[in-house]
């Protein structure tokens, strides 16, 4: 999955700037994004404040770490089942 070149804090600030500005095309041109990208971000991050975006990023990092740990544990369990299935 391709990562964004903008952080969530930057995205929220761009959305706030778009709400204040009269011309959305000028905001999009200034930041080098398309209007469709702006509206996708607005759908995903439009209800957030900058501090909430930081909390969301921290939760996503923790979630990623926990998923990695879960995959490692599942791998260990599979390996142990294979070892115990063999006759000694």
How many Å apart are CA 56 and CA 82, to the nearest integer?
39
Which sign does the torsion angle of CA 66, 72, 75, 79 carry?
A: negative
Residue 1 lies in a domain: no
Domain that residue 30 falls in:
8-85
Per-residue confidence (pLDDT) for residue 1, from 0 to 100: 60
Residue 52 lies in a domain: yes
Comparing C-alpha atoms, which of 5, 9, 2, 4 is closest to residue 57? 9
Cα 4 from chain centre: 9
Tally of structural domains, the chain: 1
Residue 81 lies in a domain: yes
Angle at 42 between CA 14 and CA 56, to 5 degrees: 85
- pLDDT tens over the chain, length 88 residues: 667 788 888 888 888 888 887 788 899 999 999 999 999 988 988 877 777 777 888 898 999 999 999 999 999 999 999 888 876 6
């Amino acid at each position: 999955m391709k990562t964004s070149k903008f952080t969530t804090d930057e995205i929220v600030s761009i959305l706030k700037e778009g709400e204040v500005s009269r011309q959305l095309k000028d905001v999009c041109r200034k930041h080098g994004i398309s209007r469709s990208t702006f509206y996708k971000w607005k759908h995903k991050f439009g209800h957030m404040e900058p501090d909430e975006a930081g909390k969301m990023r921290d939760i996503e990092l923790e979630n990623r770490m926990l998923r990695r740990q879960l995959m490692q544990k599942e791998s260990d369990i599979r390996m142990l089942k294979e070892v115990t299935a063999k006759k000694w």
